[in-house]
Amino acid sequence: MKKIRTAIVGPGKVAHLHAQGLKTSSSSEFVAVCGRTLSKAQAFSSQYGVKAYDDLEQMIVEERVEALLVCTPHPYHRDSVVRAARLGVHCLIEKPLASTLEDCDAMLAAAKENQVTLGVISQRRFYEPIQRMRKAICDGKIGLPALGHIILLGWRDEAYYNSDPWRGRWDTEGGGVLVNQAPHQLDLFQWLMGDIEQVYALTRNLNHPYIEVEDTAVAVVQFKGGGIGNIILSNSQKPGIYGKIHIHGQNGASVGAQTEGGAMFIAGQSSVLEPPVNDIWTVPGEESLLEQWKKEDSEFFNTIDAAAHYIGLQIEDFLQALIDGRPPLVTGEEGRKTVELFTAIYRSNRDNLPIQFPLKPENGNDMDGRLIR
């Protein structure tokens, strides 16, 4: 069986989940890790039996890297991806694809020019409850998606923001709950509801005076297919975490899932405590399946490390896509849609106006809508 020579850049907390996926994937030969500080890269590499570097291009050339897992903070994705693409290396990027549309477009252009594949980590698409929702929608079981909503409520305390120097700052994190905690939910929303036509939104920092970025966002979304929806996101509510996505169809049927539950998840520090489960299902003739699915999914959840398992599924999909010559489930273009959505939310809050899609990068000094003029 063909294997892809793989490596990681950015040996931080979340990179351990990717390293586990690369070590266990039948399509991966995990060979190296690169970090800005060699000693940190060496400490990471010693856990996985790979070689450490502090020079990305040297690592790629010497280790003949074919696919790179990009786990650096969001504002630094562009540099690693563009440099890797120029050397013919495919990139799977930790969410979000980037902090800005300008960075997204630079990476997509580099990938196209050098004929390499980009993917973005969105492992919740692989959750069994989400897969059921997607199939029901694609099979027409709820008619056209007419009304959708996502909600993500949680809490991040001062210790969390102090845990890494880049957290909570515009220049090094690129945003708050929209950019760091919510990309998974934003990705699922547009994947299930379809392409967006316009967004009207507000963002606030409700109770985190020690950070620069927003901790809360609310938006109303109009979709090109005629559906409407709303988004409620916040890091300002405690305790625990509460996340749901519900899609209601034109024929009156509804499908939905709780994607997050229990305590807040922090990569490398905590685990996913509650299983993702379908929590509403009114497709005609299938209503009785809801309790059976909850039971099956909960029992399966208790047999796995959920964070590592679903990231592992996406890593395997990406590498197998390279081998098969097909697009991965979550392409770079799909990742740009999430960045486009949170950028529209920032711009709408700034301008107090609905924002029409598609969006292009802005050339201004307010970080593409993040800083109010």
Q: Is residue 369 part of a domain?
A: no
pLDDT at 134: 98
283 and 137 co-located in one domain: yes
231 and 288 co-located in one domain: yes
**How would residue 101 be classed by pLDDT, with cut points 50, 70 and 90?**
very high
Q: Is residue 309 part of a domain?
A: no
- Longest Cα separation, the chain: 59
Residues 84-110 have a mean pLDDT of 97
Q: 26: closest CA among 344, 328, 323, 329?
A: 323
Q: 242: closest CA among 260, 220, 221?
A: 260
Q: Is residue 332 part of a domain?
A: no
pLDDT at 265: 47
The pTM of this model reads: 0.95
**pLDDT surpassing 50 at residue 270:** no
Q: Which of 304, 333, 363 is the last residue of a domain?
A: 304
Q: Which of 304, 333, 359 is the last residue of a domain?
A: 304
Q: What are phi and psi of 344, to 5 degrees?
A: -60, -40
**pLDDT surpassing 60 at residue 128:** yes
**Whole-number Cα distances in Å, 132 to 157, 195, 277, 286, 314:** 34, 20, 10, 12, 17
Please give the residue that has the higher pLDDT: either 165 or 116. Answer: 116
pLDDT at 99: 92
Task: State which residues form the domain around 192.
Answer: 124-304
**pLDDT surpassing 80 at residue 223:** yes
CATH (domain of 286):
3.30.360.10
Check whether the bond before 96 is cis (ω within 30° of 0). Answer: yes
**pLDDT tens sequence across 39-62:** 999 999 999 999 999 999 999 999
Strand order of the β-sheet with 254-262 is 277-281, 254-262, 241-249, 145-153, 228-234, 216-223, 196-204, 355-356
pLDDT at 373: 53
**pLDDT tens sequence across 145-185:** 999 999 999 999 999 999 888 899 998 888 999 999 999 99
Q: Which of 304, 323, 349 is the last residue of a domain?
A: 304
Q: Is residue 345 part of a domain?
A: no
pLDDT at 263: 59
CATH (domain of 13):
3.40.50.720
37 and 158 co-located in one domain: no
Averaged pLDDT score across all residues of the chain: 94
**How would residue 249 be classed by pLDDT, with cut points 50, 70 and 90?**
very high
Instruction: Classify strands 90-93 and 118-120 as parallel, antiparallel or unpaired.
Output: parallel
**pLDDT surpassing 70 at residue 122:** yes
Number of domains observed in the structure of the chain: 2
pLDDT at 171: 87
How far is the C-alpha of 370 from the C-alpha of 357, rounded, in Å? 18
230 and 210 co-located in one domain: yes
257 and 300 co-located in one domain: yes
Residues 239-249 have a mean pLDDT of 91
Q: Which of 19-28, 164-173, 221-230 shows the lowest per-residue confidence on average (mean pLDDT)?
A: 164-173
